[in-house]
Amino acid sequence: MPQLENLLRERIQQGVWKAGERLPSEARLAADLGVGRSSVREAIRLLARDGMVDVRHGIGTFVIATGGDESGDLHALLRRARTLEAYEVRRALEVEGARLAAQRARPEDLERLRARLRERQERLEGDPSDFVDADLEFHRAVMELSGNPVLVALFASVEPVLRAALVELVTHETGLPDVSCSHTDLLEALARGDAEAAIAATVENLEITMAFVRAKPAGAPLHPTGGGDRPAADAHPRSPATVDRSLDQTGNSAR
């Protein structure tokens, strides 16, 4: 999905469709690009959200802005705002989820969580969407260990928004810090039944990325590379290999 959005955005920026011009129909774009109409519809929705196109139901989609420097600055600012909002939601839910999970998780629960974390680590360098899905599966599993069905339902209700923001972040941002070790720290805290440490690891995981996004210069260009919870090289003192060894060690600990 981000790739299709970027393709349409680039075509507008390159003047393939000029300001005031109507885009081809969803069916025509889908056929030309070899994708489904639902994918085209979602990409256009994202462009409309960023003020590049105007969707007039029953009439068509028209270009508003061609995405010059000012439009690019706006897009970067909007992406930053959406990411911070999503992370604020994550913090509100996941801190309480981690606290309860530390009190209620059983050894067999931790084995399943350990497997989720291994899968996350294996997808670090893969497709951004696959990585984000694996990361969210880990965090969803922590929420489930809280034993609070209302909290789990709240997380599930906002998960689509979180996923969209994270996939966009992973796809576009450069130099994001590696928070893999915060995930390992969370797992170790849950294994010890240490609620305070679980909270601290959760806050660290989210705050590191939030601080990075806040510090991004206004209007800074965004280029395809790793991001989100996905590490940049040498951004954290412990490497993924060290994380894997830590995972092996936590296998011997139980609450």
Q: Which residue has the higher pLDDT, 38 or 251?
A: 38
Length of the chain: 255
- The average pLDDT across 188-206 equals 97
| Per-residue pLDDT at 172 | 76
Question: What SS3 class is residue 235?
Answer: coil
In this model, does residue 76 exceed pLDDT 50? yes
Name residues whose C-beta falls within 8 Å of residue 6's C-beta, 6 or more positions apart in sequence.
171, 224
In this model, does residue 188 exceed pLDDT 50? yes
- What are the structure tokens assigned to 230, written together? 């996905």
What percent of the chain has pLDDT above 70?
77
Strands 60-63 and 53-56: antiparallel
Instruction: Please write down the long-range contacts of 58-62, taking CB distance under 8 Å and 24 or more positions apart.
Output: 60/22, 60/23, 60/25, 61/22, 61/23, 62/20, 62/21, 62/22, 62/23
In this model, does residue 42 exceed pLDDT 60? yes
Q: What is the pTM of this model?
A: 0.62
CB 232 within 8 A of CB 226: yes
pLDDT band at 74 (very low <50, low <70, confident <90, very high): low
**Placement of tokens 């995972």 in the chain:** 247
| Per-residue pLDDT at 56 | 83
Name residues whose C-beta falls within 8 Å of residue 115's C-beta, 6 or more positions apart in sequence.
none
**Distance (Å, rounded) from C-alpha 201 to C-alpha 184?**
9
**Distance (Å, rounded) from C-alpha 136 to C-alpha 65?**
34
Helix, strand, coil percent content, the chain, rounded in steps of 5 = 65, 5, 30
Burial string for 47-85 (b: 16+ CB within 10 Å, else e) reads beebebbbeeeeeebebbbbbeeebbebbbeebbebbee
- Among the ranges given (14-18, 109-113, 137-141, 231-235), the one the predictor scored with the smallest mean pLDDT: 231-235
**Distance (Å, rounded) from C-alpha 252 to C-alpha 107?**
10
| Per-residue pLDDT at 18 | 83
